[in-house]
């Protein structure tokens, strides 16, 4: 678990809420397979200490991820990656809205770091061809 979160950081002045950054780290780890179905996530305590954030911030991120269907929490046992079949299935309209929201967040964060949209598109195209 320590290996998973050792590279996770939060940027307190990026304009992106810390809980969202945590959600992004978890979602990215699930997408790339670093957190497989049924894998236990770091505890709230472990993550808040590692990232030096308020434990309520981690709890909020986990609640949001659970609401999205990416994880499931079991009182007293922890939080786990939800099986793919239990994850929320979005309608075409919902998918489009999510894509638009993701794009807006991604471009806002990229702009804060001086990254051009064209660079993102190029990177996505390269990654897509390797998938």
Tell me: pLDDT of 130 over 80.
no
Q: What is the mean pLDDT of residues 112-130?
A: 86
Segment 56-63 shows an average pLDDT of 96
> DSSP characters for the chain?
-HHHHTT----TTSSS-HHHHHHHHHHHHHHTTSS-TTPBPPPHHHHHHHHT--HHHHHHHHHHHHHHTSEEEETTTEEEEPPGGGSPPPPHHHHHHHHHHHHHHHHHHHHHTT--HHHHHHHHHHHHHH-
Query: Would the pTM of this model clear 0.75, i.e. be above it?
Result: no
- Return the percentage of the chain with pLDDT > 90, whole number: 49
């Amino acid at each position: 678990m320590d290996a998973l979160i050792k590279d996770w950081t939060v940027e307190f002045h990026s304009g992106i809420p810390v809980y969202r950054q945590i959600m992004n780290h978890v979602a990215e780890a699930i997408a790339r397979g670093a957190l497989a179905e049924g894998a236990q996530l770091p505890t709230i305590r472990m993550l808040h200490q590692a990232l030096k954030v308020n434990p309520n911030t981690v709890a909020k991120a986990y609640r949001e991820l659970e609401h999205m269907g990416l994880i499931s929490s079991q009182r007293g046992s922890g939080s786990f990656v939800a099986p793919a079949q239990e994850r929320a299935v979005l309608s075409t309209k919902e998918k489009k809205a999510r894509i638009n929201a993701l794009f807006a967040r991604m471009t806002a964060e990229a702009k804060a770091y001086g990254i051009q949209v064209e660079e993102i598109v190029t990177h996505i195209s390269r990654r897509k061809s390797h998938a």
